[in-house]
Amino acid sequence: MATYKRLPVTFVRGEGAWLWDTAGKRYLDAISGIAVCGLGHAHPAVREALCDQAGTLIHTSNLYRIDAQESLGKALTRISWMDRVFFANSGAEANEAAIKLARLYGHQRGIDQPAILVTESSFHGRTLAALSATGNRKVQAGFEPLVQGFVRVPYDDLDAVETAAANRPDLVALLVEPIQGEGGVNVPADDYLPRLRSICDHYGWLLMLDEIQTGMGRTGRMFAYEPAGIRPDVMTLAKGLGNGVPIGACLARGAAAGVLGPGTHGSTFGGNPLACRAAAAVLDTLARDHLVSQAASMGNYLLDGLRRELRDVDGVSAIRGRGLMLGIELDRPCGELVTQALAAGLLINVTAERVIRLLPPLILNPSEADLLLARLAPLVRGFLARAVGP
């Protein structure tokens, strides 16, 4: 179905931070399949895990115990300090699990119609509950009636959360991205997550962090919430977890970990041996090659470079981000830059109409970072010099 507006290019091969199209032209990938291929393309550890598992056992069913799922579950809960995990196949599905968990938690506390606090300009996925939680009318338009039970407040606005808390005794959880991705790489104030944690503790809400885009080292920490010194009750992952093999996860801690019991949720494919082996290879490689700290230093290097090249350029409103999740906000819509970058052999993305988003693989090396800057900065300067003002 025509659900995607695709760029006129087909990639046939990848290696590290590079992709080749059908004509043999080479592109520097600064988007990683939208924050998915953190280890880059054709990583040997993922290939070996997949080939080995495909030759042994791809799928049985969650009717039975699954070794690869149990060991991935242990590894994931260990690095995240969470207690339990439910495996799904995508980000939206991981969020569906979190939403169901929150509702059940509410019912268990005697609230008949539990509600979840969500934020404006958020993105949580395209399934009906996830798009209802999403703070973007374009994602919802035409799909009414939306799923009920979401209360929306502006992002990075603690007063609005307090007001909602005072007025809505039906609230049981808060679902939020630690840094908004699709919404424009929006980094909240340093006290946002710690204060949300306190509010959740005060009202008995679950703090549910959507780390689907920010997780798995993307922001220079394994999970973006870590610098805030807090822990969520529920966290969702997908994207970088499988380096391109579809897998999602909903992790929970403390009381939240015991909410979903046998028969309350499930998935045919979720946590199958093939996907779990890929994710285990990702976790091993992130640790073995110190890729999370590499993402932090390469992210700082890129951020400094972008500021050096673009800070004083008229039309650049902000340059922000953490690790290798970076945004350059312009004062006007700039979607056409994606095609111009493509022609220049660089893959970038524009989100929220005017934010150039960079999500290069965590394995990006300094010379590739230099090349990224050398290809992108003149394009942005040229675009702003040519384009009519806002």
Ligand X SMILES: Cc1ncc(COP(=O)(O)O)c(C=O)c1O
Which phi and psi angles does 337 have, rounded to 5°? -60, -25
Is 370 part of the annotated catalytic residue set? Answer: no
> Alpha-carbon distance 63 to 269, whole Å?
11
Per rule CB under 6 A, is residue 177 in the interface with ligand X? Answer: yes
Nearest approach, Cβ of residue 139 and ligand X (Å): 10
Per rule CB under 6 A, is residue 150 in the interface with ligand X? Answer: no
Select from 37, 193, 238, 298 the one that contacts ligand X (CB under 6 A): 238
> What does the block give as tokens for 121?
């300009």
Nearer to ligand X among residue 34 and residue 287 (C-beta): 34
Pick the stretch among 102-110, 188-196, 209-217, 251-259 that binds ligand X (CB under 6 A).
209-217
Catalytic: which of 29, 86, 87, 123? 123
Pick the stretch among 23-31, 69-77, 156-164, 205-213 that binds ligand X (CB under 6 A).
205-213
> Alpha-carbon distance 359 to 221, whole Å?
14
User: Taking each helix axis from N to C terminus, what angle separates 158-167 and 192-203, rounded to the nearest 10 degrees?
Assistant: 10
Pick the stretch among 12-20, 42-50, 74-82, 207-215 that binds ligand X (CB under 6 A).
207-215
Nearer to ligand X among residue 123 and residue 223 (C-beta): 123
Nearer to ligand X among residue 53 and residue 95 (C-beta): 95
For 177, which DSSP code? -
Which phi and psi angles does 252 have, rounded to 5°? -145, 155
List beta partners, residue 248.
88
Nearest approach, Cβ of residue 111 and ligand X (Å): 25
Is 210 part of the annotated catalytic residue set? Answer: yes
Per rule CB under 6 A, is residue 16 in the interface with ligand X? Answer: no
> Alpha-carbon distance 160 to 345, whole Å?
44
Q: How far is CA 356 from the centre of its chain?
A: 16
Cis peptide before 366 (omega within 30 of 0): no
Q: Where in 26-85 is the site for ligand X (CB under 6 A)?
A: 34
DSSP codes, 203-226: HT-EEEEE-TTTTTTTTSSSSTTG
Nearest approach, Cβ of residue 215 and ligand X (Å): 9
Nearest approach, Cβ of residue 134 and ligand X (Å): 8
Q: Where in 124-143 is the site for ligand X (CB under 6 A)?
A: 124-125
For 272, which DSSP code? -
- Buried b / exposed e over 104-125, threshold 16 CB at 10 Å, is bbbeeeeeeebbbbbbbbbbbb
Per rule CB under 6 A, is residue 90 in the interface with ligand X? Answer: yes
Which stretches within the chain are classed as H helix?
32-35, 44-54, 67-80, 91-108, 128-133, 137-140, 158-167, 192-203, 273-288, 291-310, 336-343, 366-386
Per rule CB under 6 A, is residue 91 in the interface with ligand X? Answer: yes
Select from 66, 199, 212, 234 the one that contacts ligand X (CB under 6 A): 212
Is 74 part of the annotated catalytic residue set? Answer: no
Q: How far is CA 130 from the centre of its chain?
A: 14
Could you give the string, one character per residue 213-232, with x where binding to ligand X holds by CB under 6 A and - elsewhere?
x-------------------
Nearest approach, Cβ of residue 119 and ligand X (Å): 11
Nearest approach, Cβ of residue 33 and ligand X (Å): 11
Select from 32, 33, 116, 182 the one that contacts ligand X (CB under 6 A): 182
Residue 284 region by backbone torsions, left for phi larger than 0, else alpha for psi between -120 and 50, else beta: alpha
> What does the block give as tokens for 38?
């953190």
Catalytic: which of 29, 86, 210, 383? 210
Per rule CB under 6 A, is residue 183 in the interface with ligand X? Answer: no
Select from 27, 105, 123, 225 the one that contacts ligand X (CB under 6 A): 123
Nearer to ligand X among residue 124 and residue 354 (C-beta): 124
Select from 33, 135, 181, 315 the one that contacts ligand X (CB under 6 A): 181
Please list the active-site residues.
123, 210, 239
Residues contributing to the site for ligand X (CB under 6 A)? 34, 90-92, 95, 123-125, 177, 181-182, 210, 212-213, 238
